[in-house]
Amino acid sequence: MRFVFGLAAGPAALASILVLHSSIVPSAESSEQNLEPVPVEEYPIYNRVVQDKFLTSQTTLVVIDRLTVTRLHPENKKPPGLGFFREHDYFYGSLRPDLVTDVILKDSRPFRLEARFNFGVNDRFVSGGELEEPEVFLAPIPARFPRTDMTQVPRPVIGKLGFSRVAFTPRADQALVYVVDDRPDGTGAGFLVWLRRLDQGWNVLDTEVIWVARRDE
């Protein structure tokens, strides 16, 4: 397996399976229960990203890991710092400094996601790597995913997605969230999704591919 750092991509570049996957796995279920929950105001961002970037007419279920992601690349050993954003200059340096600061603060440790999602289809959680429900039907891979990054063959879901905490500007007029697609076959990708608030709700401004993992031939 090899990792490739991605380049900037438009909103249409983000598509994949509907599963949220945390990069930190707790040692016991009780440790998950004791984690601080994600605040209510962040769920509209999760909902918008799932609705705009992942849902298809065939989607019947979204599977969600209980823990938020704290690393922005599988090979990172710790949560992101200011140097990480300066080095990679995401969105060509257009991110506001206060938005980046909020990312660093919120992603310093994992939080617990709750059943507050509302994106039009059923959802289930994964705890400690195991589905909380014994039987699920996972969503197929959307065909709009870039051919150079992931397979486009329609089939049952074979991987997981994960969400970070949602970062906001002080006026809450912009938001930033990291989404990771981590598949059992060793492939995957990570994305930053940048949003802004409009009168009717949140709108995706841009999406950037941070990394792509491909299987070695």
Buried b (16+ CB within 10 A) or exposed e, 183-194: beeebbbbbbbb
Return the C-alpha torsion angle 115, 17, 87, 97, nearest 10: -40
- Give the model's confidence band at 77: pLDDT under 50 very low, under 70 low, under 90 confident, else very high: confident
Which pLDDT does position 214 carry in this prediction? 81
Arithmetic mean of pLDDT, 22-39: 66
Q: What is the mean pLDDT of the chain?
A: 77
Name which residue leads in pLDDT, 149 or 98.
98
Q: Which residues contact 50 (CB under 8 A, 6 or more apart)?
A: 18, 62, 117, 119
Of 4-8, 43-47, 63-67, the range with the lowest mean pLDDT is 4-8
Rounded-to-integer distance, Cα 91 and Cα 94, Å:
6
199 pLDDT exceeds 50? yes
Arithmetic mean of pLDDT, 56-68: 82
Among 95, 73, 89, 67, CA closest to 168? 95
Q: What is the helix, strand, coil percentage profile of the chain, to 5? A: 20, 30, 50
> Degrees (nearest 5) of the Cα angle 129, 130, 133?
145
